[in-house]
Amino acid sequence: MAIVRHKQPPLRRLMMYGVDHVRQAFASLGELWRNPLASLMTLAVLGVSLALPSCFHVLLKNAEVVEGSWQTSSQISLYLRKDLPEQSILDMKQRILLYPEVESVTYMNRDEALREFREISGFGDALDYLDSNPLPPVLSVIPDPRWQNPEGAAELLAKLENEPGIEQGKLDLQWLTRLQGIMNLLRHTITGIAVLLLSAVLLIVGNTLRLNILNQRSEIEVLKLVGATDAFIHRPFLYTGIWFGVIGGMLAWWLTEVMVIWSEGVVKELAGLYNSNFRLVGMGAFDGFNLILLGALLGLIASWFSVHRHIRDIEPS
């Protein structure tokens, strides 16, 4: 008598495949719960390892905000001829505003320039002995954000100096170059440290799962004896690595926000000394979600390499 095999519909097989994955995912989470001390120690190390690069990311993000405000406050000063008529200066201002490289232009006449110099220089009494105002009218030009780098600002300055009536243009290019160099150094340093710390996450997850596999060696041998596939044996360990990464990422997000809140008062006090309203910017939901995804991805990669290598070497005796 022939045995008739009934194949299940493709949709039902797909549903059962998904249900099996969900069951093994939650079983892996339960395995972490059944070993609380070892799991907590591993998760704590993972959380700190992921929190350090995320803190550096927050530091870099806030440094870029400060850099943007500094570059925006930098300006090109155009010193005009003293005998230039007022109408000619106003026409020049409107003409410069039409430049695509220019964001705004501010005009300061000679009287305003002298009044400002008197206030900030401390030589008010000495200026009273002058027969005439020695200061020229000034146009202050703020470059467009796309032209606030040293190369763009230098090109704009050279273009503005071709305008008739301008005696001298001034821009502190050295200051902009140094600022850009400091930011590039900060980015490279943070990237290098982040790579090292994320590599540590891979090693921690991989070594933890290696120990788990060795502890369950006899169970894996029994599963292979009854015909379980390698994919079926791998799956719980892969989900364990993912859970390590997800929970470690959540812990790192929380630690980073705690560091931001803890540092906010000191930063606010320092900003007040410079008459600034700067406030620390935290990670935010988008960066936090990406951190959790990164943790899950690192956990999956580490677990895959560890599981693929060590389970393959286990054979029933």
Model confidence over 186-205: pLDDT tens digits? Answer: 889 888 988 998 898 888 88
Backbone angles phi, psi at 80, to 5 degrees: -95, 165
Better pLDDT: 256 or 172:
256
For the chain, what percent of residues have pLDDT higher than 90?
Answer: 8
Provide the pLDDT for residue 102. 86
Judged against a pLDDT cut of 60, whether residue 3 lies above it is answered with no
3-state secondary structure of 118: helix
| Residue 309 parent element (H or E) | helix 284-313
Describe the strand order of the beta sheet including 166-170 as a list of residue ranges. Answer: 102-108, 138-143, 76-80, 166-170
| Residue 297 parent element (H or E) | helix 284-313
Spell out the residues 6+ positions from residue 170 whose beta carbon is closer than 8 angstroms to its own.
76, 77, 79
Region 138-153 average pLDDT: 80
Provide the pLDDT for residue 293. 93
DSSP summary character for residue 145: G
Can you read off the two tokens belonging to residue 298?
């690192």
| ∠ CA 179-145-110, rounded to 5° | 85
Cα 255 from chain centroid (whole Å): 16
Can you read off the two tokens belonging to residue 216?
């369950």
Provide the pLDDT for residue 256. 92
Say what the pTM is: 0.67
Region 254-273 average pLDDT: 85
Provide the pLDDT for residue 129. 53
Provide the pLDDT for residue 1. 42
Window from 1-5, 11-15, 131-135, 187-191 with minimum mean pLDDT: 1-5
Can you read off the two tokens belonging to residue 191?
């990237």
Judged against a pLDDT cut of 50, whether residue 4 lies above it is answered with no
How does 61-72 read in b/e, with b if 16+ C-beta sit within 10 Å? ebeeeebeeebe
Taking the C-alpha atoms of residue 122 and residue 120, their distance in angstroms, rounded to an integer, is: 6
Judged against a pLDDT cut of 50, whether residue 2 lies above it is answered with no
Judged against a pLDDT cut of 60, whether residue 84 lies above it is answered with yes
- Strands (E) across the chain are located at 76-80, 102-108, 138-143, 166-170
Q: Which domains can be identified in the chain, with CATH numbers?
A: 25-69+178-313 (no CATH), 75-171 (3.30.70.3040)
Region 106-133 average pLDDT: 66
3-state secondary structure of 267: helix
Judged against a pLDDT cut of 70, whether residue 31 lies above it is answered with yes
Angle in degrees, 0-180, between the axes of helices 36-73 and 173-215, rounded to the nearest 10 = 170
Taking the C-alpha atoms of residue 122 and residue 265, their distance in angstroms, rounded to an integer, is: 34
Provide the pLDDT for residue 18. 67
Choose among 46, 68, 98: nearest CA to 278.
68
Taking the C-alpha atoms of residue 210 and residue 308, their distance in angstroms, rounded to an integer, is: 10
* Ordered DSSP codes for 157-175: HHHHTTSTTEEEEE--HHH
Q: CB of 259 within 8 A of CB of 266?
A: no
Provide the pLDDT for residue 120. 60
Q: CB of 43 within 8 A of CB of 244?
A: yes
Judged against a pLDDT cut of 80, whether residue 227 lies above it is answered with no
Judged against a pLDDT cut of 60, whether residue 141 lies above it is answered with yes
pLDDT-based confidence at residue 62 (cuts at 50, 70, 90): confident
3-state secondary structure of 111: helix
* Ordered DSSP codes for 162-208: TSTTEEEEE--HHHHHHHHHHHHHHHHHHHHHHHHHHHHHHHHHHHH
pLDDT-based confidence at residue 93 (cuts at 50, 70, 90): confident
DSSP summary character for residue 129: T
Taking the C-alpha atoms of residue 253 and residue 257, their distance in angstroms, rounded to an integer, is: 6
- Exposed, middle or buried, 237 (CB in 10 Å: 0-12/13-18/19+)? buried
Region 163-179 average pLDDT: 77
Q: What's the whole-number average pLDDT of the chain?
A: 79
Judged against a pLDDT cut of 60, whether residue 126 lies above it is answered with no
